[in-house]
Amino acid sequence: MGNANEKEVPLMEKIVSLAKRRGFVFASSEIYGGFAGVYDYGPMGVELANNIKAQWWQRMVRERGDIFGLDSAIFMSPRIWEASGHVANFSDPLVECRTCHTRSRADHLLEDVGVLADEKMSVEEINKIFDENKAKIKCPKCGGKDFTEVKLFNLLVKSNLGDFSSEGNNPAYLRGETCQGIYVNYKNVLDTMHPKLPFGIAQTGKAFRNEITARQFIFRTREFEQMEMQYFTTPAEDMKEYEKLKEYCWSSLLDLGLKAENLRWHQHENLVFYAKEAYDIEYKFPFGWKELEGVHARGNYDLTQHSKGSGVSLDYFDQEKNEKFLPHIIESSVGVGRLFLAVLSDAYAEEEVEGPSTADGSVGVKEVRAVLHLPKALAPIKIAILPLSKKEELSAVAVPIFDTLKKQFACQYDETQSIGKRYRRQDEIGTPFCVTVDFDSLNDKAVTVRDRDTMKQERVAIVELPAYLKEKLQ
């Protein structure tokens, strides 16, 4: 939009700018110059993220009956990460630019020049492909073409929790994925809730990875939140349940409001040795199709490893058949930050609208509004209460409306600046309804309700307002 000579701002830049400007996402430690790969969620961001998590929990736990919730601790015995294979194998291929010493992921540099380096490849294989394509590969920082050899870099983040020696030889790891907490609590859930197969365990929580290059805003960060569900089945039924889970995850994303045309399945070609099948749901982010959620059939690898590592049998006893076996696991795993970015990208729009009326009552000139057409259930603020001016007689009507509505809905009271500017602000945070109290309200005991999407305005009696909005927000 705008002057043809003006450079079009890429969508991603617009979303990042809105996220900062409107209090959704802040760079970490900003006043200290920032801290790479970590982001903070501001007043609007925490509401949106909480709504996303609440909807996931509703679908994955409350609406099921066969899936139990869990909140395992971030810190766990380091033996868990040895048994799971993370200490030995949870790594990404790293190269360093010899000119500016920037470290990059070798597979990402290859991807940038159109060459696919699969995450399951050995370091020798990646080095070979990297060498073959050296002429095309450039350092993303300085453009240099001289790189070190590709090395594997372990992503686990270490801490000295419980290690009081000065050497730090016994690190406790910050969890690299939340599902390990599920595997090691499988027996506890089995022994306390006594479920029959198939059943699942779900949890949301923080995970940490020493990502070599954290990039694309909140898409890939070093601290992030995951929502994971592990479903335990008999060996015979895992692929049938896998197909059902794939469908369930896909429809959950549609229920969350994501557009079907921005989602697609991607099958992993090169499976890890224990996996039976692996698909990702990809989202069309402003920077291209990328993984949003993984839905994987993992066989009995995880329970086998933790049974061996702990020395505790994790067998399931089928009373009817009088047999013991290790259940198979199918998993769904999605990052809150990635889903948050997908929701923002899907909702963001720029629309040409009529500007606010001028003081002499004539119609305003055309302008562009940025608006988040968020699903109502996800919007951080559902209703904004906007007295036309700061005059006391208006706040005497508007404040009691705010006090009533805020008990039922997330509301915001705003009396600063012109009403046009306040509408634009609410559009930018995706508020579905604005309630305007004007001087007529003093006489007719009614207010104007403006719909974010249609921008249509309706006069509603103040006494009927809670019921009117409740119906609209359902």
Measured distance CA(251)–CA(257) in Å, rounded: 10
Binding test (CB under 6 A) with ligand GAP, winner from 220, 284, 328, 425: 220
Work out how close the CB of 222 gets to ligand GAP at its nearest, in angstroms, rounded to a whole number: 7
183 vs 199 by CB, closer to ligand GAP = 183
Q: DSSP letter at 61?
A: I
| Count of residues in the chain | 474
Is residue 242 at the binding interface for ligand GAP, with CB under 6 A as the rule? no
Give the angle subtended at the CA of 293 by the CAs of 291 and 299, to the nearest 5°.
115
Instruction: Please identify which residue in the block is written with the tokens 């995880």.
Output: 302
User: Please, is 157 exposed, middle or buried when counting C-beta atoms within 10 Å of its C-beta (0-12, 13-18, 19+)?
Assistant: middle
Locate 71 and state its tokens: 């909140």
Measured distance CA(307)–CA(184) in Å, rounded: 9
Binding test (CB under 6 A) with ligand GAP, winner from 92, 211, 241, 415: 211
Measured distance CA(336)–CA(300) in Å, rounded: 27
**Parallel/antiparallel/unpaired status of strands 103-105 and 223-233:** unpaired
Footprint on residues 333-362 left by ligand GAP (CB under 6 A) = 333-335, 337-338
Is residue 177 at the binding interface for ligand GAP, with CB under 6 A as the rule? yes
Which range binds ligand GAP by CB under 6 A, 28-36, 39-47, 93-101, 286-294? 286-294
224 vs 301 by CB, closer to ligand GAP = 224
Closest residue to ligand GAP in the complex (CB)? 335
Is residue 246 at the binding interface for ligand GAP, with CB under 6 A as the rule? no
Is residue 107 at the binding interface for ligand GAP, with CB under 6 A as the rule? no
105 vs 425 by CB, closer to ligand GAP = 105
Measured distance CA(14)–CA(9) in Å, rounded: 7
Pick the closest to residue 205 from 234, 235, 233, 185 (CA basis): 185
163 vs 255 by CB, closer to ligand GAP = 255
Which range binds ligand GAP by CB under 6 A, 22-30, 84-92, 219-227, 440-448? 219-227
Binding test (CB under 6 A) with ligand GAP, winner from 179, 278, 342, 437: 179
Work out how close the CB of 12 gets to ligand GAP at its nearest, in angstroms, rounded to a whole number: 16
Q: What are the φ and ψ backbone dihedral angles of 235, each rounded to 5 degrees?
A: -60, -35
Name the amino acid, one letter, at 18.
L
Using CB under 6 A, list all residues that contact ligand GAP: 177, 179, 209, 211, 220-221, 224, 226, 228, 291-294, 333-335, 337-338
